[in-house]
């Protein structure tokens, strides 16, 4: 710019002064600075700065307005935030109160659950113990029936009842015990032992029938034989057939007297060689002794004493043959019963139920051992529940 200023004024001032005069020189001198580029540039710069200042002022005013608006909005948002914060605090406090109530209810429900678990365990343990006691009692009865009476039927009924009781329980822990009981049932069903209870009932009926058995020395002729013999006697009296057909009164009287006379002496055939003759006072003791023999046979039967049973039945058969009327149907029935019972074998060994009884007792022992630690656990749980409630 300095170079331009130095070159331009060197030619212009002289013509300007010479052509216009003094006024023209003053105006030209006044316009001379305006004609300089530096001045123009300065004025342009000043105008630009003024415009920028104005624009900046406008923008500042707009910015201040926007900031004031934003601050007002921020204040309203802050107030709303404070309101929301207060509401959130109140909601949190309500939630905390509800949470406390829920925690208390949870602790109470946990304590109730522990109490219910303890009661259920006690009830279940008591039910299992009662079931085991019933099964043990049933098996004991079955074992007694086998050992003392040899009653296989009663033992089977008891074992089947025990198996049905375990089946109704429907618990897998009793499967091993049910297998043992089923094995015992199969062994008893396959046992070909004598019917001890049936034999004992036959002996009871035989003992009751002893009082009605007729003796051999009390035998009487058969009615048909006496009628036939009487007709022969009447036919052999030498009376004509016409007179026999229409007897007179004196012949009827004579026939009655003759029949009564024939009863004074009686000749009778007895099948036995030497029938036992007893005085009327001794018949009572014979019957009682026979009853005692049969009672002893029954006791030997129940105690599975085969030797004594056979001896009592043999002696009872001898007495029935020797002293009682063998033609009478009750005596024949009694003899058949004595012979059939005496031929039966009652000394067969029956299976034992000791293994099943030991298994039941082991179950009871294991259950009692499991029940011992349950009480400390329940006490500890109740203590923990009480601690939570106190907190």
- Residue 365 resides in a domain: yes
Q: Using pLDDT thresholds of 50, 70 and 90, give the confidence band for residue 387.
A: very low
The verdict on 149 and 205 lying in the same domain is no
- Summarised one tens digit per residue, pLDDT across range 135-162 is 888 888 888 877 776 677 788 888 899 8
Residue 293's pLDDT is what?
A: 92
- Residue 363 resides in a domain: yes
Residue 2's pLDDT is what?
A: 42
Which is higher by pLDDT, 283 or 122?
283
What gap in Å lies between CA 168 and CA 152, rounded to an integer?
24
The verdict on 214 and 144 lying in the same domain is no
Residue 15's pLDDT is what?
A: 44
The verdict on 171 and 266 lying in the same domain is no
- Summarised one tens digit per residue, pLDDT across range 295-319 is 998 888 877 778 888 899 999 998 8
- Residue 278 resides in a domain: yes
The verdict on 180 and 289 lying in the same domain is no
The verdict on 164 and 132 lying in the same domain is yes
Residue 228's pLDDT is what?
A: 47
Please compute the mean of the pLDDT values over residues 65-76 and round it to a whole number.
88
For residue 6, is pLDDT > 70? no
The verdict on 274 and 210 lying in the same domain is yes
The verdict on 286 and 319 lying in the same domain is yes
Check if the beta carbon of residue 154 is closer than 8 Å to that of residue 142.
yes
- Residue 67 resides in a domain: no
Which CATH number do you get for residue 375?
1.20.120
Residue 358's pLDDT is what?
A: 87
The verdict on 200 and 337 lying in the same domain is yes
- Summarised one tens digit per residue, pLDDT across range 324-354 is 888 889 889 999 999 988 888 776 667 788 8
Counting the structural domains of the chain, the total is 2
Please compute the mean of the pLDDT values over residues 82-87 and round it to a whole number.
90
Domain hosting 153: range is 121-191+350-390
The verdict on 319 and 257 lying in the same domain is yes
Q: Last residue of some domain: 342, 359, 380? A: 342
What gap in Å lies between CA 64 and CA 72, rounded to an integer?
12
The verdict on 321 and 259 lying in the same domain is yes
């Amino acid at each position: 710019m300095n170079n331009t200023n130095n070159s331009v004024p060197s030619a212009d001032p002289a013509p300007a002064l010479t052509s216009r005069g003094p006024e023209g020189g003053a105006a030209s001198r006044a316009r001379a600075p305006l004609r300089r580029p530096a001045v123009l540039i300065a004025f342009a710069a000043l105008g630009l700065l003024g415009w920028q200042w104005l624009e900046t002022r406008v923008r500042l005013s707009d910015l201040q307005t926007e900031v004031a608006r934003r601050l007002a909005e921020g204040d309203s948002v802050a107030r709303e935030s404070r309101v929301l914060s207060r509401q959130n605090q109140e909601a949190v406090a309500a939630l905390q109160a509800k949470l406390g109530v829920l925690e208390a209810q949870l602790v109470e429900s946990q304590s109730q659950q522990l109490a219910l678990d303890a009661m259920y365990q006690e009830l279940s343990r008591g039910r299992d113990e009662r079931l085991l006691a019933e099964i043990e009692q049933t098996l004991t009865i079955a074992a007694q029936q086998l050992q003392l009476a040899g009653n296989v039927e009663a033992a089977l009924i008891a074992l089947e009842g025990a198996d049905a009781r375990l089946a109704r329980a429907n618990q897998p822990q009793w499967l091993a015990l049910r297998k043992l009981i089923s094995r015992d049932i199969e062994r008893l069903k396959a046992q070909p032992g004598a019917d001890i209870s049936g034999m004992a009932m036959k002996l009871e009926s035989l003992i009751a029938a002893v009082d009605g058995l007729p003796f051999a020395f009390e035998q009487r002729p058969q009615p048909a034989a006496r009628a036939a013999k009487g007709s022969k006697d009447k036919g052999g009296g030498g009376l004509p057939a016409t007179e026999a057909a229409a007897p007179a009164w004196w012949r009827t009287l004579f026939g009655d007297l003759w029949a009564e006379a024939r009863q004074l002496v009686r000749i009778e055939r007895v099948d036995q060689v030497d029938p036992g003759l007893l005085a009327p006072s001794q018949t009572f003791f014979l019957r009682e002794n026979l009853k005692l023999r049969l009672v002893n046979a029954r006791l030997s039967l129940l105690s599975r004493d085969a030797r004594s049973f056979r001896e009592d039945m043999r002696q009872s058969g001898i007495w029935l043959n020797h002293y009682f009327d063998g033609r009478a149907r009750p005596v024949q029935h009694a003899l058949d019963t004595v012979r059939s019972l005496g031929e039966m074998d009652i000394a067969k060994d029956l299976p034992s139920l000791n293994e099943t009884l030991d298994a039941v007792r082991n179950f009871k022992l294991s259950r009692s051992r499991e029940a011992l630690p349950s009480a400390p656990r329940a006490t500890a749980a109740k203590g923990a529940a009480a601690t939570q409630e106190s907190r």
